[in-house]
Homo-oligomer: A and B are copies of this chain.
Amino acid sequence: MALIVQKYGGTSVANVERIKHVAERVAKFKMLGHQVVVVLSAMSGETNRLIALAREVQSEPDPRELDVLVSTGEQVTIALLAMALKDLGLKARSYTGSQVRILTDNAFTKARILQIDEAALRADLDAGRVVVVAGFQGMDAAGNITTLGRGGSDTTGVALAAALHADECQIYTDVDGVYTTDPRIVPQARRLETITFEEMLEMASLGSKVLQIRSVEFAGKYKVKLRVLSSFQDEGEGTLITFEEEKHMEEAIISGIAFNRDEAKITVQGVPDTPGVAFQILGPVADANIDVDMIIQNTGANNTTDFTFTVHRNDYARTIALLGKLQPQIGAREIMGDEHIAKVSIIGVGMRSHVGIASTMFRTLAQENINIRMISTSEIKISVVIDEKYLELAVRVLHDAFELEKAPAV
């Protein structure tokens, strides 16, 4: 007998038929003798509908009241799933975030979980009940309803799994696992049976939408075994996210290729090469609440330097305008930008102990005449910025070069 937390996203509970399907899946696990805690999102589209309603009333909805409003979305699905489970003859009970209680700070619309009182849930589990918990929501110390922000239901699932010392936290979604890369670009892309937390964090931060990054961090911190599965397939093992020490030594050097097209590149050319120049440029950018991703500084001619960084594409125009104003003060020769870039990253804990990974990557891209505009590396990742038009080609040739379509020898 194991204790399993299962989290189902909005598309998995989008209508009555799918809710009944979730109930049947839960019933199967109960039949096998497991204890099951289910965490649900709102029906897909419902949260957006409620936010739109709020905006009709108040152009910038009050955050406290917005949380009161949108938290009704999960309250609807937990009640319906509990009914569906009872209809199958199972014992079940639903809980809102406040009822559990999932204590958070009071940062409305983006609260963080502080503590979970799991006593009532454990009593229910011991009494043979399926426990159905509203994801995405909690309450602060003063009893106000809070929400965790987008993707927060994943975090609720992981936090409950941690609090209950669950054997596994299963995240059901509309894909059947984590792939070596996006199968829409590389049809040979292969589902990974396992991936380490560090690799998953890099994948998530690079735009792989399978798991919300905060929930992965949370799972890593509390050593919760996470598994990503499809709620639309009845079979399949999904992808298990493991801790590095558990990873087989024989496993692949590179686990996957992630990419994103959300960034734009900005170069400040010909800045006097004096101490503090990076701060002079990035200080005002940070003050304007613009997030910066990659940063590169090269020495140029005549004691000047070229400074390049990337921002989210939505912030591109604002950043260019901001730096335009600062140009005289910085003493830059020119400010240039490029919105048509893409970032491609190869990720794998194995690269730590293997030389030559970077050179294979660069050679592969060079053979296709793909120019690398920026490079950044971490212990388990190498990212390059290239022209957006080469993105698909780059992903395909790298997938091929690292033979990701082949399962690693065990």
- Residues in chain A within 8 A of chain B (CB atoms): 16, 19-20, 50, 53-54, 56-59, 61-62, 64-66, 68-69, 71-72, 75-76, 78-80, 82-84, 86-87, 93-94, 96, 98-99, 143-145
Contact = CB atoms under 8 A, between A and B. Distances in A.
B65 A82 contact: yes
Nearest to A86: B62
Given A68-B78, A79-B66, A57 B20 contact: yes
Nearest to A75: B72
Instruction: In the A-B complex, list the 6 residue pairs whose CB atoms are closest, starting with the nearest.
Output: A69-B79, A72-B72, A68-B79, A58-B83, A65-B82, A58-B87
A83 B65 contact: yes
Contacts of A143: 99
Contacts of A69: 75-76, 79-80
Given A58-B84, A65-B82, 8 more contacts: A57-B80, A58-B86, A62-B86, A64-B93, A65-B86, A68-B78, A68-B82, A98-B98
Contact of A16 (B19, B50, B53, B59): B53
B75 A68 contact: yes
Nearest to A70: B79
Determine chain A's interface SS by DSSP, over half rule. Answer: helix
Q: How many copies does the complex hold?
A: 2
Contacts of A57: 16, 19-20, 80, 83-84, 87
Q: Most chain-B Cβ atoms within 10 A of its Cβ — which of A68, A78, A94?
A: A68
B64 A80 contact: no
Contacts of A68: 75, 78-79, 82, 94, 96
Contacts of A145: 96, 99
B75 A62 contact: no
A83 B52 CA distance: 13
Q: Most chain-B Cβ atoms within 10 A of its Cβ — which of A59, A66, A94?
A: A94
Contacts of A71: 75
Contacts of A82: 62, 65, 68
B76 A50 contact: yes
B54 A80 contact: yes
Nearest to A59: B87
A14 to B, nearest CB: 13
Nearest to A142: B120
17 contacts: A16-B56, A16-B57, A57-B80, A58-B83, A58-B86, A62-B82, A64-B93, A65-B82, A65-B86, A66-B79, A68-B79, A68-B82, A68-B96, A69-B76, A69-B79, A71-B75, A72-B76
A79 to B, nearest CB: 4
A89 to B, nearest CB: 11
Contacts of A19: 57
A22 to B, nearest CB: 11
A86 B50 CA distance: 18
Contacts of A61: 83
